[in-house]
Amino acid sequence: MPSSSQLGPFLEGCRARIEVALDRWLPSPCIQPGRLHSAMRYAVLGGGKRLRPTLVYAAGHALGLPLEALDGPACAVELIHAYSLVHDDLPAMDNDDLRRGKPTCHKAYDEATAMLVGDALQSLAFLVLASDTTMAAGVERRLGMIEVLARSSGSRGMAGGQALDLEATGQQLDLLALENIHIHKTGALIRASVQLAALSATPLETGVAERLEHYAACIGLAFQVRDDILDVDGSTATLGKTGGKDVIQQKVTYPSLLGMSASREKAQSLCQEALESLADLDERADPLRWIAGYIVGRDR
């Protein structure tokens, strides 16, 4: 199992890089509508793991791409993720007051502004893919990226997974139904992160894109299993969001179905399966291997 400590320098480098890129794309509060632009920057630049853009960079690195060619897709996927968090925190959804250790967007501003923030961030993500001049991808591959991100964030991806999650609250689910929710709600955008990197590359060797996508599918599910575990035994102070909400909201989770021990085993099994899918890739794929270890060992 790769040590998550090996990820440190790469992760910090990616975080620093994506912060600069996001800051460049987010409108200044000095430009009207200033309050909306201020709230957009509050929601996006407020910290976070930056896992999805790091996956873009790591997958691109595995394929021999320079990181500067990946800033556009890395920004786009993080903007979609940030919009989803703003909307998920709204009273009509998860009704949360805390995100990344600070008040959620609708608490810091207001609900109407938070809704507009999500809308604007989603639009900005596609603007980045369409117009970022630092991307090496031509028109055809940019269209492919736009299609991947739209599908992954829409009703057949993240938004659809959220809808299934809301419908399942208070209901009895089996493991297959729970996995179907999270393959869409959490997994779709994680898979998209790797797919965007693959689309940034020149034509790949046969099977490489498929192996990368399988890796992403495994770590996407492992991420959610670990999230469910942390909701039970993690503290609000460490998580940066309210702990124990799954039980309060009567959500079916991996621990509630499998128990804590079996849930930890499942996360480790998914991590191992992800690593096996990278077996034919050289040391340039090591950051992807480190990310897999980080996902199942993280404390927030």
pLDDT tens digits for 146-202? Answer: 999 999 999 999 999 999 999 998 888 999 999 999 999 999 999 999 999 999 987
Q: What is the mean pLDDT of each run of 10 residues along the chain (300 residues)?
A: 69 95 98 98 92 97 94 98 97 92 96 98 98 91 97 97 91 94 96 96 86 97 94 72 72 92 96 97 96 90
pLDDT at site 84: 97
Which amino acid appears at position 16 of this protein? A
Helix extents (H) in the chain: 8-25, 34-44, 51-62, 71-88, 105-108, 111-131, 139-153, 158-168, 175-185, 187-200, 208-233, 236-239, 245-248, 254-258, 260-277, 286-297
Contact 51, 291 (CB under 8 A): yes
The predicted pLDDT at position 203 comes to 80
- Compute the Cα dihedral for 38, 43, 47, 53 and give only its sign: negative
Phi then psi for 242, rounded to 5 degrees? -70, 120
| pLDDT at position 235 | 65
State the pLDDT at residue 1: 53
- Indicate the number of domains in the chain: 1
State the Cα–Cα distance between residues 29 and 61, nearest whole angstrom. Answer: 34
- Indicate the length of the chain as a whole number: 300
Query: Is 20 buried (19+), middle (13-18) or exposed (0-12) by CB count in 10 A?
Result: exposed
Taking residue 104's Cβ as centre, other Cβ atoms within 10 Å add up to 26
Q: Please, what is the Cα angle at 278 between 276 and 280, to 5 degrees?
A: 105
Domain with 222 in it: what CATH number?
1.10.600.10
Quote the distance between the C-alpha of residue 296 and its chain's center. 15
Backbone φ and ψ for 29, nearest 5 degrees, come out as: -60, -15
pLDDT of amino acid 3: 53
Domain containing 201: what range?
4-297
Helix (H) or strand (E) holding 156: none
pLDDT of amino acid 187? 96
CA distances from 263 to 169, 180, 270, 295 (A): 20, 16, 11, 14
